[in-house]
Amino acid sequence: MPKLLLFFIFFSLLAAAGLPLKGQGLYRANQGQLSFKSDAPLELIEAVSKSLRGVIDPAKRTFAFSVPVNTFQGFNSPLQREHFNENYMETAVYQEATFSGKIIEDIDLSVPGTYSVRAKGKLNVHGIEQERIIKSTVESKENVLIVRSDFTVLLAEHNISIPRIVYQKIAEEIQVHVEATFSR
Amino acid sequence: MWRLPSQDNGAVKKIILFLLGIITLLSGHGQEPYFREHPVGEAYQDVSINQVLEASNGFLWFGSNQGLLRYDGREYEQFLAPDSLTNNQVRAIFEDIQHRIWVGYEDGRILYLEKGRELELWQLEEGLPTVPVVGFAQNPNGLMWIATYGEGLYYYNGQHLYNINNDDGLLGNDIYTLVQDKEGRAWVGTDGGISICSVQDGKKNIENITRADGLPDDIVRTLLPDKSGNFWVGTYDKGFCYYNTARQVFEFPLKDWKYGPIHTMELFDSLELWVGTEGSGLYRYQLRTGYLQSISKGRIRPATKIYDLHIDIEGNIWIINNEEGVVSANRQFESISNEVQNIQAVFSGRDGKLWVGSQEGLYYFDEASGQFHLYLQENVLSLFQCAYGNLWAGTFGNGVFCIDLKTGKQRHLTEADGLTNNSVLAMDGNDKDVWLATLGGATHVICRQNIMNAEQLEVDRFDEASGLATNFIYTVFLDSKGRTWFGTDGEGLNVLVDGKIRNFKMVNGIPLNAVYSITEDDRGHIWFSTAREGVFEWDGEQFRRLSVKEGLRDRAITSLIADGKGNILIVHPSGIDLLNPLTRHLIYYDSEIGIKNMEPNLNAVCPDGYGGAWIGAQNRLVKYTALQEKLSIHPRIVLNQVSVFLEPIDFWLKSNFSYEENNLVFQYVGLWFTDPSKVKYRYQLEGFDLDWRYSSDQQAVYSSLPPGHYSFKVAATENDAFDDEPMAIYRFVVKAPYWRQWWFIILASLLLAGGAVWAVRTREKRLEQEASLKRAMVESQYEALKSQINPHFLFNSFNTLISIIEENPGLAVEFVEKLSDFYRSILQYREKEVISLQEEIELVKNYAFLLQKRYGSSLQLVVQTDGQQGYIAPLTLQMLVENAVKHNIISKSRPLSIEILSQPEGYIMVRNTLQKKLTQEPSTGFGLHSIINRYQLLSERSLRVEEDGQYFCVCVPVIKNERT
């Protein structure tokens, strides 16, 4: 289902841009990196996925990102990763985390330069969609956009419940870092 | 007449309204409140103010192109963003539930100010807008709304910042105005109409009101909710309108607006809407009459841009525009000057029309045009309108003109018609009666519908003959209980109750003399003013005076009149005092409302029909409006800063000071914007000051405060009376230094007591020691003496002497010499505590010589001291030697060997071979004991006594110094 949704987003973006699927204006990223960190009093958990994909339409200032949740590596133990996938994120059901929407600032990203932008969109984690504003820096070079972003995800906002027993080991607020290079 | 929009409007009414609207577009001249400017001063010359916010503590905050300014009525204080390299152009100010001041800037930054801190940038994960922040609001759940010009609306729920813009259905990303309704929904005015936004369970909900819904103009520049929850809407092109939220319809008080874009609005409840335009100055729209009046004739120049309007808690309207900057006026008082001279009577008619009587004639005031029209050329002293709508004009010397206002028909009533006199000073009445106060008594006219035509006037006359104290009656007043009161000239107050006249000439021992003016408060108490004795209150039984001493400003009171809010206005040449009859709190108004030296005339006052009053004076007409808003009658007192040694502290957190932090400065301010120059203070530091201190300064300095509990109390007044003024109180403690803390005192006294006990004990011990040393010495001397003059020793010595005296006279002589030396030594040394070791050895040698002669070779004494130096208790060694001789067998076969040897560590040892006598000689055992005791006192080291079967040794410590 999320995959379908993402596809739909992609498609609608393209359609909205009035461009064919191989549109020249779109920037794409297939090898972006998304890492997260849970800094709880008793344990620090870090994991990273290199399977972040995304598309940015500079003309419409729209974008879409997605990452398959089961691609995260790291953790403090294989068991922890298993718990992450099975107990908390329910990866089998909610395979992807996505963020898509529109950039608030009226900026033409195809013009080279470094921009601080705020992306307003829907963040879908664990099948729960939350509207968010995520602040990023975008470095625009010739045909390349490098996007860096830091934000937090509140587990409670995405219905990810933590058993009391591991409360001290998992932070309520997960820090996320995104770094992706888009090209057209 | 267009009334409040919540009332039902019929179609006809609407048409009338429309017509009226067109007529009233004439910008009336009319009355205007007295505007005062609030220049920012030299220091902030380039500052251009564009915003105003009244904080809950009373301060006014202004937003400007150069940051935030705080104003106390006298001075501005600037608050700049910390990194002031960037833009300091303020676009929005707001106070949140926690009393933090939020500031939105042109460049999108949002900063907040906490009490006693500096402006701080709002840090949040989502980042701040990049376009101007133009408004804030906070709903009861704490959700904060932030409006921007370019990025739509944001809201912050305490965790995240969210955005609502075009894409969500907002009518425009450029927001002009943000207000909140009673449900906490955000109403924003945009280029496309009004969007109403709310958030429920994280879901945005947007309702839009556009032209399709009847909004007259797409562009909504300003929104203003009223008490009923409906909104006044100011538009770009089409003026203002009123949106009824319940019926969801727009009502148009004014068609054909031609004053351009509306920038801001402010509302006096049920009274008038003030409208500030983008470039056509300021207007006010009177809700009761539908008149629109331009406020750009007097202080405020026309064609200005009005940035912001605000009504403060004192009833002042604040106007911020591009010409005068900050201007304020107390809305309660307005004046019309130099139109009619010498106003002697005013009366607000049943149709709302104002009639004015002067020496020159009777005028009516056309509020729409602001013009006075002469109606009757008479010297009019008093006015009244009876139940049938006829206007009665009392003249000086020419009776009364009774005028039918519908037909204009007049009837002239004089003494011939039964009036007591043709000079009618005052009139009052009710449905059926009109009372005239004349210079010949009081006339009671029974009012009939046919009064204009009736042949005979139905008249009752009251004069000296009927019981009035005098015929000169200044005023007549009908109270709510059907009594008729008369103010007389020189004879006090008279009242007619049930056909009987009662006179009050003396009250509480004070002669009333002339009574000029009478009114009644809302408790039914009668208040009247006298010529010289001030004001009196009569509660039905007792009189109570209000004199200059109690705060009355002027004795020459011309009028008293009760307003619709329960106050009494006291009018006199110095100004107007507003009296709260219950608390007797007085507020003085004069120059700040532009009525200094207004020269009011006797009883030239009347109610305006809405709780206010008209007041006539020599060359002006003053209108007092009873505002519906709850107004503060006190200056707000704010304790601003507390400094310790000139260093400001967070006094709201700190209340304990160390004994060194005892130099305190309290800075406070009494906020009375109506007239800041009237504010005075009194303060008292309870625990230090015995009484209040009175001052005009905004600070109190206390140095070298002794430790203790204190309360700093400060009150501000605008009328020199402090009785009921609220106080700011700051309680604190200056702690005693540690040496004056109870624990320290206890500890110290314990230590002291302990020390004393110890000292006494040591001294006692020392004395005891000294005493026992003395005793031991005496005892040892005695013992030594006793032993030396032991008859046995003498007998033995003499026997020895006899045996040698013949054989060897030389030796005998020597023997006797030694014996005598020995005794001399004993006598010489016995007084001393210590003697030198040499002396003792010498003595022992003498003694040994005597023994040797007796025992011969049976006794061997070896002395080997190796020149050891030091001191020793006298006769110690001698006594030990004597003991050895005494207790041991001495014979040729078993000679006794005694050795005196030097020992390491400063000891000297006396050792003898142990060969105890079988029968012990009688002994007190005192000798050795005495030595041990003496050494305990003399030296830290003690005697060592050893006995090992072969030897008996005693080691005696040698003392290093003569005195220990």
pLDDT digits (tens, 9 = 90+) for B758-809: 999 999 999 998 888 887 777 766 666 555 556 667 777 888 888 888 888 8
Strand B680-686 and strand B647-649: the pairing is unpaired
**Helix, coil or strand: residue B778:** helix
Nearest CA in chain B to A173: B159
pLDDT band at A33 (very low <50, low <70, confident <90, very high): very high
Q: Look at A133 and B162 and tell me if their CB atoms are within 8 Å.
A: yes
Regarding whether B731 and B761 lie in a shared domain, the answer is no
* The pLDDT value given to residue B445: 92
**Chain A touched by B161 (CB under 8 Å):** yes
* The pLDDT value given to residue B20: 44
Q: Which of A13, A61, A117, A120 to mutate to test the interface with B (most CBs of B within 10 A)?
A: A120
Q: Evaluate if residue B868 carries a pLDDT over 70.
A: yes
CATH of the domain at A127: 2.40.128.110
C-alpha–C-alpha distance, residues B835 and B842, integer Å: 11
B275-297 pLDDT, tens per residue? 999 988 999 999 988 888 888 66
Q: Look at A130 and B202 and tell me if their CB atoms are within 8 Å.
A: yes
- Please identify, among B301, B330, B359, the residue that sits at the C-terminal boundary of a domain: B330
Regarding whether B757 and B703 lie in a shared domain, the answer is no
The first and second tokens of residue B737, run together, are 């230094």
B45-78 pLDDT, tens per residue? 889 999 999 999 999 999 999 899 999 999 999 9
Cβ-in-10-Å burial (0-12, 13-18, 19+) of B791 comes to exposed
pLDDT band at B381 (very low <50, low <70, confident <90, very high): very high
Amino acid occupying residue B270? S
Model ipTM over 0.85: no
**Chain A touched by B166 (CB under 8 Å):** no
**Chain A touched by B201 (CB under 8 Å):** no
Nearest-CA distance A136 → chain B (Å): 9
B 107-136 residues with CB below 8 A of A? 125-127, 130
Q: Look at B127 and A116 and tell me if their CB atoms are within 8 Å.
A: yes
* The pLDDT value given to residue A21: 44
C-alpha–C-alpha distance, residues B366 and B29, integer Å: 10
pLDDT band at B19 (very low <50, low <70, confident <90, very high): very low
pLDDT band at B665 (very low <50, low <70, confident <90, very high): very high
C-alpha–C-alpha distance, residues B106 and B595, integer Å: 42
Regarding whether B816 and B703 lie in a shared domain, the answer is no
Q: Which of B130, B157, B168, B204 to mutate to test the interface with A (most CBs of A within 10 A)?
A: B130
Nearest-CA distance B126 → chain A (Å): 5
Over residues B714-724, the mean pLDDT reads 87
* The pLDDT value given to residue B307: 94
Q: Which of A61, A133, A151 to mutate to test the interface with B (most CBs of B within 10 A)?
A: A133
Measured on CA atoms in the order B356, B362, B366, B370, is the torsion positive or negative?
A: negative
* The pLDDT value given to residue B962: 63
Nearest-CA distance B190 → chain A (Å): 18
C-alpha–C-alpha distance, residues B641 and B719, integer Å: 25
Nearest CA in chain B to A117: B127
Q: Which residues of A touch B163 (CB under 8 A)?
A: 104, 120, 133
Regarding whether B563 and B536 lie in a shared domain, the answer is yes
* The pLDDT value given to residue B27: 38
- Of B210, B284, B283, the C-alpha closest to B250 is B210
- Distances B444 to B156, B504, B877 between C-alpha atoms, Å: 71, 21, 143
Nearest-CA distance A174 → chain B (Å): 13
Measured on CA atoms in the order A50, A52, A57, A62, is the torsion positive or negative?
A: negative
**Is B513 a domain residue?**
yes
Q: Evaluate if residue B932 carries a pLDDT over 60.
A: yes
pLDDT band at B715 (very low <50, low <70, confident <90, very high): very high
**Is B855 a domain residue?**
yes
H or E element in which residue B307 lies: strand B306-311
**Is B70 a domain residue?**
no
C-alpha–C-alpha distance, residues B474 and B437, integer Å: 6
Q: Evaluate if residue B963 carries a pLDDT over 70.
A: no
A38-51 pLDDT, tens per residue? 988 888 999 999 99
**Chain A touched by B10 (CB under 8 Å):** no
Q: Look at A104 and B165 and tell me if their CB atoms are within 8 Å.
A: yes
The percentage of residues in chain B with a pLDDT greater than 70, rounded to a whole number, is 94
* The pLDDT value given to residue A166: 77
Residues B389, B390, B395, CA angle at the centre, nearest 5°?
Answer: 145
Regarding whether B650 and B549 lie in a shared domain, the answer is no
Regarding whether B828 and B785 lie in a shared domain, the answer is yes
The beta-carbon neighbor of A154 closest among B159, B161, B162 is B159
Nearest CA in chain A to B165: A104
The percentage of residues in chain A with a pLDDT greater than 90, rounded to a whole number, is 51
Q: Evaluate if residue B675 carries a pLDDT over 60.
A: yes
**Is B344 a domain residue?**
no
Regarding whether B757 and B729 lie in a shared domain, the answer is no
Q: Evaluate if residue A71 carries a pLDDT over 90.
A: yes
Q: Look at B126 and A118 and tell me if their CB atoms are within 8 Å.
A: yes
**Is B666 a domain residue?**
yes
Are the CB atoms for B519 and B496 separated by under 8 Å?
no
Q: Evaluate if residue B159 carries a pLDDT over 50.
A: yes
Nearest-CA distance B610 → chain A (Å): 53
* The pLDDT value given to residue B519: 96
Over residues B237-249, the mean pLDDT reads 93
The beta-carbon neighbor of B126 closest among A106, A133, A154 is A133
Q: Evaluate if residue B14 carries a pLDDT over 50.
A: no
Regarding whether B706 and B762 lie in a shared domain, the answer is no
Nearest CA in chain B to A154: B159
* The pLDDT value given to residue B857: 82
Amino acid occupying residue B835? I
Nearest-CA distance A129 → chain B (Å): 11
Q: Which of B123, B163, B170, B204 to mutate to test the interface with A (most CBs of A within 10 A)?
A: B163
Q: Evaluate if residue B933 carries a pLDDT over 80.
A: no
- Of B467, B464, B418, the C-alpha closest to B445 is B418
Nearest-CA distance A154 → chain B (Å): 9
**Chain A touched by B167 (CB under 8 Å):** yes
B109-126 pLDDT, tens per residue? 999 999 888 899 999 999
Over residues B20-42, the mean pLDDT reads 67
**Is B168 a domain residue?**
no
Q: Look at A130 and B130 and tell me if their CB atoms are within 8 Å.
A: no
B451-496 pLDDT, tens per residue? 888 888 889 999 898 888 899 999 999 999 999 999 999 899 999 9
pLDDT band at A14 (very low <50, low <70, confident <90, very high): very low
* The pLDDT value given to residue B787: 57
User: Mean pLDDT of all residues in chain A?
Assistant: 85
User: Mean pLDDT of all residues in chain B?
Assistant: 87
Regarding whether B659 and B518 lie in a shared domain, the answer is no
Overall number of domains in chain B: 4
- Please identify, among B690, B715, B736, the residue that sits at the C-terminal boundary of a domain: B736
Nearest-CA distance B152 → chain A (Å): 10
Overall number of domains in chain A: 1
* The pLDDT value given to residue B929: 77
* The pLDDT value given to residue B921: 66
Range of B313's domain?
1-47+225-330
Q: Look at A105 and B130 and tell me if their CB atoms are within 8 Å.
A: yes
Q: Look at A133 and B127 and tell me if their CB atoms are within 8 Å.
A: yes
- Please identify, among B262, B295, B330, the residue that sits at the C-terminal boundary of a domain: B330
Range of A6's domain?
2-16+24-183
* The pLDDT value given to residue B164: 94
Q: Evaluate if residue B8 carries a pLDDT over 50.
A: no
C-alpha–C-alpha distance, residues B767 and A149, integer Å: 90
Q: Where are the alpha helices (DSSP H) in B473-525?
A: none
**Chain A touched by B162 (CB under 8 Å):** yes
Q: Which residues of B touch A131 (CB under 8 A)?
A: 162, 202, 204
Q: Which residues of B touch A120 (CB under 8 A)?
A: 163, 165, 167
Are the CB atoms for A180 and A32 separated by under 8 Å?
yes
* The pLDDT value given to residue B431: 85
DSSP for B246-273?
TTTEEE-S--S--S--EEEEEEETTTEE
CATH of the domain at B662: 2.60.40.10
C-alpha–C-alpha distance, residues B178 and B96, integer Å: 15
Q: Which residues of B touch A116 (CB under 8 A)?
A: 127
CATH of the domain at B532: 2.130.10.10
Q: Look at A133 and B130 and tell me if their CB atoms are within 8 Å.
A: no
Residues B233, B237, B243, CA angle at the centre, nearest 5°?
Answer: 20
Q: Which residues of A touch B126 (CB under 8 A)?
A: 118, 132-135
Nearest-CA distance B174 → chain A (Å): 13
The first and second tokens of residue A168, run together, are 């001290």
Measured on CA atoms in the order B97, B101, B105, B109, is the torsion positive or negative?
A: negative
The residues that bridge with B561 in the sheet, in sequence order, are: B569
Regarding whether B541 and B573 lie in a shared domain, the answer is yes
* The pLDDT value given to residue B577: 92
Q: Evaluate if residue A15 carries a pLDDT over 70.
A: no
Nearest-CA distance A158 → chain B (Å): 12
